Amino acid sequence: DAGITQSPRHKVTETGTPVTLRCHQTENHRYMYWYRQDPGHGLRLIHYSYGVKDTDKGEVSDGYSVSRSKTEDFLLTLESATSSQTSVYFCAISRLAGIGELFFGEGSRLTVL
Amino acid sequence: QQPVQSPQAVILREGEDAVINCSSSKALYSVHWYRQKHGEAPVFLMILLKGGEQKGHEKISASFNEKKQQSSLYLTASQLSYSGTYFCGTEASLSAGGTSYGKLTFGQGTILTVHP
């Protein structure tokens, strides 16, 4: 199994509070991604990284920011959580962009009350 | 824009075959297929690159028609373990606005249920 861990795995928070989800990998893969999964929508890309300090937006990036200061860590921050951000968040890593498989973390379930 | 998967759901008996389709409105560079069981992370099945090559292993194979921007996943002689939600993920070609960073756009999923 690919060495990828997400934390926290479950979190309940209130509207307006900041939240940070962490993705940690031990594979030294260059590419890292944050997806959210909601019923009926499949997986939607929030942000991705193609190297340390190199990040870009995905299709649903509003309300989210990311940082990658080390190869192994990719942080997803909700500056002010809203109920619409209640979701399951998956981090994924890949060694070869596009032609390499994605390895997914176990997911982080976030509930915003 | 999300690729469209069909059907949305399939119910099979063990041993039956199924086909899941994935269609995109954009020219594609690659198509990925993943399976996700309830409460778990998606797991990689296979990648197809433009060129129409059919790939597979064991009883699961797939094809990619780049001219039609379509891919199909073939599950032969289904087993109980095949149950789950299947997702295709597509990456647009550079000419269609894609990047070289592996930005996949996933379909909404196809729920496959295999009964004994």
Q: What pLDDT digit, counting tens, does each position of A67-77 carry?
A: 999 999 999 99
Our CA-based measurement puts residue B5 at a distance from the nearest CA of chain A, in whole angstroms, of: 11
Q: What is the pLDDT of residue A1?
A: 61
For chain A, percent of residues with pLDDT exceeding 90: 88
Q: How confident is the model at residue A2 (pLDDT cuts 50, 70, 90)?
A: low
pLDDT of residue A30: 94
Stretch A77-89: mean pLDDT:
97
Residue for token digits 């940070």?
A: A20
Residue given tokens 């194979």 in the structure block = B61
Cα separation of B72 and B7, whole Å? 11
CB contact under 8 A, B103 and A45: yes
Residue B55 pLDDT: 63
What is the model's pLDDT at position B31? 93
Tokens for B86? 């299947």
Cα-Cα-Cα-Cα torsion B28, B32, B37, B42, nearest 10 degrees, comes to: -100
pLDDT digits (tens, 9 = 90+) for A27-62: 999 999 999 999 888 899 999 999 999 999 999 999
Please report the residues numbered 71 through 110 in chain B whose beta carbons come closer than 8 angstroms to any beta carbon of chain A: 87, 89, 91, 100-109
pLDDT for A31: 95
- The residue written with tokens 């059919």 in the block is B54
User: Distance (Å) from the C-alpha of residue A70 to the closest C-alpha of chain B?
Assistant: 18
Best mutation target, A38, A49, A101, to test chain B (most B CBs within 10 A): A101
For residue B20, what pLDDT is reported? 98
- For chain B, which ranges sit under pLDDT 50? none
Does the distance separating the beta carbons of A102 and B32 come in below 8 Å?
yes
By CB atoms closer than 10 A (0-12, 13-18, 19+), residue B74 is: middle
- Is B2 in the A-facing interface, judged by CB distances under 8 Å? yes
Tokens of A51: 């190297």
Q: Please give the single-letter amino acid code of residue A71.
A: T
